[in-house]
Amino acid sequence: MRIVFLDENTVVLKGDIDLGVLRKLGEYEAFSILPHDDPVPLSREAEVMIVNKVKVSAGAMKQLPSLRLICLAATGYDNIDIAAAKDIGIRVANVAGYAKYSVAQQVFAMILSIATRIHDYYGDVKGGEWQRSKTFILLKYHTFELAGKKIGIVGFGAIGHEIAKIAEAFGIQVLAHDIVDISRTGYENHSLDELLRSADILSINCPLTERTRNMIDSDSFTKMKKNAILINTARGGIVNEEALARALNSNLIAGAAVDTLSTEPPVEGNPLLGGVKNLILTPHTAWATRDSRQRLVNAIAENIKKYIREEFEGFVV
């Protein structure tokens, strides 16, 4: 069985991940190609294709008669033509929940960075401002405590639930929102409008679908508190980037931290790249701790084993 990983470089950093669990399953070959490149030339005779962000269209699938399984090295599968895969008879398997600790950790790193302005103070110290201070302290920025605040979590799956647990340890009240029943979690399912109006921190943790695209828009920011901050570690297209830039520059909200953009890598002209104030921007790395990436590879191997055993429960198609 030939297994190809078309963008292994998006998961492995200088050999820090053990890929033995994949190599044991068949004739394994890895490539490092950019998203949107043609997957066909590298996948001929492959029965199993592993991709992270490489797009796999209906046309590509039709040119790969040996292909029987597409494994996503991710939770989201918007880069795969799911309808075509179903029609052709190709199984698709994603990995859910593998990054819940890593993403929740980064969400709070971002929240704490905004709350304490630690990155700004560190820059000032490096620039010599503390040395030039007239007093023992360099007091420049308004900071705030998390205790007693409210966090609105949009998308209450594995990641959202993990964020809630950490939030409560800080003394933050949790307001959860999801389009599905979350009663099993023990949390009440609030409306998105209530989260927008009540939350001091709004954390976006839902998938990107046509329903959620531009879900947080100009109207959303007018409903939010002036002291509110927005955290997006989900998908860039969920938050309208032009609306977010305007909201930050006009002080509609107090700050934001974003790990994902609508187009990645970003292109010239993206409104969040042009000196937007009170914004932290990271390059889609919230999920990417070594622990998380190893857990992801192990789960991909388990999906391939399930395919071999013809156990398809939990697969996308």
Active site residues: 235, 264, 284
> From edge to edge, which strands make up the β-sheet containing 91-93?
27-30, 2-5, 48-51, 69-72, 91-93
Instruction: Measure the CA angle with vertex 5, ends 101 and 79; round to 5°.
Output: 70
Q: What sign for the dihedral angle of Cα 46, 47, 49, 55?
A: positive
Among 284, 287, 280, which residue's Cα sits nearest to residue 266? 284
Helix and strand numbers, DSSP H then E, in the chain: 11, 11
Spacing of C-alpha 242 from chain mean position: 20
The residue length of the chain stands at 317
Strands (E), the chain: 2-5, 27-30, 48-51, 69-72, 91-93, 150-154, 173-177, 201-204, 229-232, 255-258, 279-281
* Spatial contact of 116 and 283, defined as CB atoms under 8 Å apart: no
